[in-house]
Structures are given as structure tokens and as C-alpha cells.
Amino acid sequence: MSTDNTVEIAVLVGSLRKASINRQLAEVARDNAPDGVTVNIVDLQALPFYNEDNDPATPDGQGATLAESVVAVRAAVGAADAVLLVTPEYNGTIPAVLKNAIDWLSRPYGTGAVKDKPVGVIGAALGRFGGKWSREDTRKSVGIAGGRVIEEVEVGITTADLTDEGVGHADVVAQVLVAVSRLADEVKVNA
């Protein structure tokens, strides 16, 4: 936790589309964070695909220089107390942009930016299960990368069921707030 007892949560969104429902869910988390919690959405737009040749932490990358976008994402997540991953479901699994971010954050192996951080996974998808497969795959990937997955952080929105209010509907906002609060509580318990 930061020195002023504020819990800092970094949010990574698995969709780059500006108007995506998952980006809107991240904004709901940011805009409705409870007192004592700051939620920051981390930009993944310029993150290159992970390649060991470009990672100085690997034998193949000796002499390489990390892209500024990688340094920025690692710094943002490294400085956070917890991580919230917001994921759509692409072809039944985790989107490439989010998997790529997890790959960068898992390095250097054993000491990556997500190591031992509480991580929650929420999301929205068109399928009738609201992206269940994607959330499961994301939990698996970030857990292997070193994050401490908090299974109780669970929000799966079926986008076809959204009303005209979209993710601004009181029920959706309440679900996201519960997820953010649960993640923040996990930080406070282990502080």
C-alpha cells in the first residue's frame, strides 16, 4: 500500500477499442472506486509483442533495450498494490493484447511485475457465459506468471443482456464495485 494507506490498483484491459464494453467496465471501476482506493487504467496500445530477442532479462536478449512502452507498463503494474484484468473473450479465450501484457509482466522470470500481487479478473463477452473461458484462461496465465489470483473477484457480463444503460446500470456498477473492494481488501489483509 502507498504511504497514505491508499490501495493502488492497476487495470489492464484486453480490448484496444476505445468504445469497448470492457474498457467501459474498467472506467466504471476507476470512476466508482471506494474511498481509499485508486484505480489506474494502464495503456497497452503501444506494447510490442513479447520476443525474447528484445528482452534483456533473457539470454537471447543480452544487449537489447526494452521498448519504452514495456518499461511504462512494468512500472505502472510494479508500483500498484493489486491488478485488475478486464477481458473480453476472443474465439473462446484470452485476447492477444492481454496475454501479451501478461507475458511482458512475467519477466524477468520469478521477479516480474505481477509477482505475488493480488490479481482479479472480470469481463464482458457476447457468449451466454459472459466470457467464462477467457476469464479462466486469464486467471491461469497470470497465476503462472506469478500473480496471486483472487478467485472471489468474479464478474462475467453477458453483453447481449445489457440494458440501454449498458455498464452504467446500477447492478453492473455494484458488481464491479464489489470486485474492486474485494481486491482492495486482499491488499489490506496482507499489508
Helix and strand tally (H, E) in the chain? 5, 5
One-letter amino acid at 78 equals G
- Residue 77: the pLDDT is 98
Convert the pLDDT of each residue in 30-58 to its tens digit. 999 999 999 999 999 999 999 999 999 88
Average pLDDT over every residue of 157-183: 94
Cα–Cα dist 163/94, whole Å: 25
- In which band, very low, low, confident or very high, does the pLDDT at 191 lie, cut at 50, 70 and 90? low
- Residue 109: the pLDDT is 85
Q: DSSP letter at 8?
A: E
- The residues, ordered by sequence, that sit 6+ positions from 109 with a Cβ below 8 Å of its Cβ are 57
- Residue 3: the pLDDT is 55
Convert the pLDDT of each residue in 51-78 to its tens digit. 999 999 888 888 889 999 999 999 999 9
- Residue 138: the pLDDT is 97
Cα–Cα dist 73/97, whole Å: 13
Average pLDDT over every residue of 9-35: 96
Q: DSSP letter at 139?
A: H
The share of the chain scoring above pLDDT 90, in percent, equals 84
Q: Which three cell numbers stand for residue 46?
A: 503501444
Q: DSSP letter at 48?
A: P
- Residue 61: the pLDDT is 87
Residue 67 neighbours by CB distance under 10 Å:
15
